[in-house]
Structure 1
Amino acid sequence: MPMTDSAEDPSVTRNDGAGRYEIHVDGVLAGYTVFRADTRGRLIFPHTEVDPAFRGRGIAQQLVAGAMADVASRGETVIPHCPVVSAYLRKNDVPGLDVIWPTHPHPE
């Protein structure tokens, strides 16, 4: 029987109450990317954070990939201010995702 790494299968969920997408590994919060809607309903992503215990595993990339796919499926627009989100979007095409690139990205 082949061994699988399913025990560490990360799951990405949207937490509207906290204004963020979260990634859990084995039921533990491993990281999140924060969003807030601007006055036109576009989602601004200012910050992504991964718990140091989970760094080096590609968690941030998996988190942003899941978040962007979900945003696209909802027909929402992204304004990436977070360097992690910006880098992901510059390297990966997300079908159906509407991105508005900020003229002056600012960390938050």
Structure 2
Amino acid sequence: MTDLKVTRNDAESRYELHLTDETHDGVLAGWAAFDQAPGRIRLTETVVDPAFRGKGVGTVLASDALADIARRGDTIVPVCPFIADHLRKNEIAGAIVDWPGDTPLDSATQGESPA
């Protein structure tokens, strides 16, 4: 059985995904880098270790990181193409997204300004 755990590492300015299975014990399988400002977080890069690509690790990382940001109440600025694509395809409850070059949008109702 594989255990995936996403944590926020403020010292490194990134969300980290650690994987534990039969052959790995808490190995860093990927991360999503961010720049934090008051009330806003720019997600700049997502990296998945080549050994774990194609296994859904990036999707878990993006989902859990975005859910945490939404819970914190920060506006998400998706600079990273992987994160932007994930936001376009998936609803993140409570997330407010400021698409680069656009008006901030509620990710649950893309195309409509938040109330």
Shorter chain as denominator, the TM-score bin is 0.7 to 0.9
**TM-score when normalising by structure 2:** 0.81
Q: Give the SS at the match of 1:53.
A: helix
- How far apart are residue 89 of structure 1 and its match? 0.2
Choose the corresponding residue for 1:92, options 82, 90, 93.
90
- Determine if contact 2:39/2:73 at 8 Å carries over to the other structure: no
What residue identity is the alignment partner of 1:100? D
Q: Give the SS at the match of 1:29.
A: strand
Unaligned runs of 5+ in 2: 21-25, 103-115
Distance 1:92 1:56 in 2: 18
What residue identity is the alignment partner of 1:28? V
Distance 1:17 1:65 in 2: 21
- How far apart are residue 99 of structure 1 and its match? 0.5
Alignment-derived partner of residue 37 in structure 1? 36
How does 1:48-63 map onto structure 2 within 5 Å? 48-63=46-61
Give the percent of matched residue pairs that are identical in Structure 1 and Structure 2: 47
- Determine if contact 2:46/2:80 at 8 Å carries over to the other structure: yes
- How far apart are residue 41 of structure 1 and its match? 3.7
Unaligned runs of 5+ in 1: none
Q: How many residue pairs get matched?
A: 97
Distance 2:90 2:39 in 1: 23
Choose the corresponding residue for 1:12, options 6, 26, 39.
6
Q: Give the SS at the match of 1:22.
A: strand
Alignment-derived partner of residue 81 in structure 2? 83
Q: Give the SS at the match of 1:10.
A: strand
Runs of 4+ aligned structure 1 residues displaced above 2 Å come to none
Distance 2:54 2:95 in 1: 27
